[in-house]
Structure 1
């Protein structure tokens, strides 16, 4: 494919300013953008857009015609697996830049054929969300160490306790990060800045500057035995499903804190509740769950030692800009026939 004959179609809501940045960075690329065919954002980085938005029959035909004319898509059609499955038969399509860091789940759900998986590269936005997720993890650590649950309860009751409770120091404490990828490394950087000792797991074990111990997941029970905090950043795959379970919780010392900014399927939620109730865990800060939205009958909603966040910790006002900048860099690589950043694994879907 000639670098001058590439057509990009914007499949998801994006500001005209960022579309112009893409065009300016790659003036030889044809960028197709028809905002009237895209649902309006309800908040920054609302990639699916307003669910009340409906195209007319004429607009629906134009939308799919635009997408099928493209070699490259910015976002999944309609931002869902069904849209991806529908566009996969387009013979021109070679690459899709996904909006999500965990785009593998959508690719897997689309059930693409082996030939389509080989022909179409899907790149994720992994790493774009590293800083907001790492900051959210620090929020969880501070909540757990500084007893904000009790403070909020006392404030609500207008209760000034006769005996004040001491808090725990982050400095000198031990944090274990399950998954030392980009999110995990950014989390480690912030934890070290607060004086914490950091260890963690990595699929390919190797020494990492500033990380005390690096092991694979088989070594996780030994790591958590001396940990004050366990932070999960792992993706959801068949190999990580319920990886953090009673075996891991029972290996912890009582009072450990759990933070999950990876995928909800990594944590066995029944075992998590048991660990909260028996004192192995003193607090859990959860942004992700095995089923989302979290069912209303889940005990996690009302548990006094749990913070439930509706999978929003990665959201930031800068997200759209950061993904567009990632896309611009990857488009340069695509034109030069170089390896793209953060491709989704077509076998393990992460």
Structure 2
């Protein structure tokens, strides 16, 4: 799919908001590459790593024409045009681009939504930021486990009510407990590392079953119920694909040991939310920490908002002040590979879209 290209005839266009210091880092690492960057054409960031930028931003017709002329002249894009699937579809149909660095770790959803032709999927490589978010997501996942084990939801409710319970309720010990991770990719492995540091016994699932350092048992999805029979906590890191949709369903919740803590930092479609609510109500699940949902933003009428043993996070657990720097560093490395005709890191699968 990729031919060797010399830096002298390679053009990169920055299609999404990015701080000038990171643009300069790309230029400094690849001084012979033409890097096109016009902040006037990009919406301002509202917060660090705000890849879509301010939704109130609008280009003039002249700016819109300049934006697309810039992108169509590039071999490589940093970000999807306008950071959406429609922009990807438009550039694929009219540009010469051959590689796009996506900002999201789960970029497969946008690639699928762009509905590119088979020829387009073969011509354009899309790389995700998978791995960049591994540590922030792993830290969030462990926060969720700790919240569940240490009863922070109950403490917060008591504090809000200025209620000092007459009976003292013990919390659960993390060390020595059993954690199951669905999806032992980079995020799952980072979570396993933190969990082991706290003394947890870790097992998990992987589509292609093979040993993972520090993980006791690795199985495929068919082996998940057996793992959960002895688990104290479940962390999901799986992407949203047709194969994972509602994979964690009523049958899986029924296989859990009563009182299991559930954390989701993968995709919301992996968990059947109605089944999760039933499991929370009947005690199979003692606490759920959720950063992702089947529909986002989470509808105002969702029972998850008001459930006393649910934490709702607005899909922000991966965000950190270092994100843009880390993605730019990943891009710099892959740009060297692209020029040399070597395989790119973290290419989105054009069949399964993850």
TM-score normalized by structure 2? 0.98
Is the partner of 2:342 in helix, strand or coil?
A: coil
Matched, 1:340 2:344: yes
1:209-228 equivalent positions in 2, closer than 5 A = 209-228=213-232
Structure 1 residue aligned with 2:52, among 48, 52, 55?
A: 48
Q: For residues 164-196 of structure 1, what are the alpha-carbon distances to aligned partners after superposition, in whole Å with 9 as ceiling and x for unaligned?
A: 111100000000000000000000000000000
Contact 1:201/1:217 (CA < 8 Å) preserved in 2? Answer: yes
Mapped to 2, the partners of 1:333 and 1:218 lie a distance apart of 37
5+ residue gaps, structure 2, are none
Equivalent residue, structure 1, for 2:165: 161
Contact 1:242/1:268 (CA < 8 Å) preserved in 2? Answer: yes
Structure 2 residue aligned with 1:200, among 204, 207, 219?
A: 204
Q: For residues 221-256 of structure 1, what are the alpha-carbon distances to aligned partners after superposition, in whole Å with 9 as ceiling and x for unaligned?
A: 000000000100000000000000011100011100
Matched, 1:30 2:34: yes
Mapped to 2, the partners of 1:297 and 1:162 lie a distance apart of 35
Please state how far the C-alpha of 1:149 moved relative to its aligned partner: 0.8
Equivalent residue, structure 2, for 1:63: 67
Mapped to 2, the partners of 1:272 and 1:44 lie a distance apart of 33
Equivalent residue, structure 1, for 2:6: 2
Equivalent residue, structure 1, for 2:292: 288
Moved more, 194-203 or 89-98: 89-98
Mapped to 1, the partners of 2:97 and 2:300 lie a distance apart of 41
Please state how far the C-alpha of 1:2 moved relative to its aligned partner: 2.8
Equivalent residue, structure 2, for 1:244: 248
Matched, 1:19 2:23: yes
Matched, 1:98 2:93: no
Equivalent residue, structure 2, for 1:133: 137
Structure 2 residue aligned with 1:263, among 255, 260, 267?
A: 267
Task: Give the superposed CA RMSD.
Answer: 0.6
Please state how far the C-alpha of 1:209 moved relative to its aligned partner: 1.9
Mapped to 2, the partners of 1:17 and 1:2 lie a distance apart of 25
Mapped to 1, the partners of 2:6 and 2:23 lie a distance apart of 22
Equivalent residue, structure 2, for 1:121: 125
Is the partner of 2:139 in helix, strand or coil?
A: helix
Equivalent residue, structure 1, for 2:320: 316
How many pairs are equivalent?
350
Is the partner of 1:122 in helix, strand or coil?
A: strand
Mapped to 1, the partners of 2:206 and 2:8 lie a distance apart of 40
Please state how far the C-alpha of 1:260 moved relative to its aligned partner: 0.2
Mapped to 2, the partners of 1:307 and 1:90 lie a distance apart of 44
Please state how far the C-alpha of 1:3 moved relative to its aligned partner: 3.4
Mapped to 2, the partners of 1:108 and 1:208 lie a distance apart of 29
Contact 1:48/1:79 (CA < 8 Å) preserved in 2? Answer: yes
Contact 2:248/2:270 (CA < 8 Å) preserved in 1? Answer: yes
Contact 1:257/1:284 (CA < 8 Å) preserved in 2? Answer: yes
5+ residue gaps, structure 1, are none
Please state how far the C-alpha of 1:91 moved relative to its aligned partner: 4.4
TM-score normalized by structure 1? 0.99
Mapped to 1, the partners of 2:131 and 2:122 lie a distance apart of 24
Mapped to 2, the partners of 1:63 and 1:3 lie a distance apart of 23
Contact 1:3/1:336 (CA < 8 Å) preserved in 2? Answer: no
Please state how far the C-alpha of 1:157 moved relative to its aligned partner: 1.1
Is the partner of 1:195 in helix, strand or coil?
A: coil
Structure 2 residue aligned with 1:84, among 82, 88, 100?
A: 88
| Structure 1 consecutive aligned stretches of length 4 or more whose deviation exceeds 4 Å | none
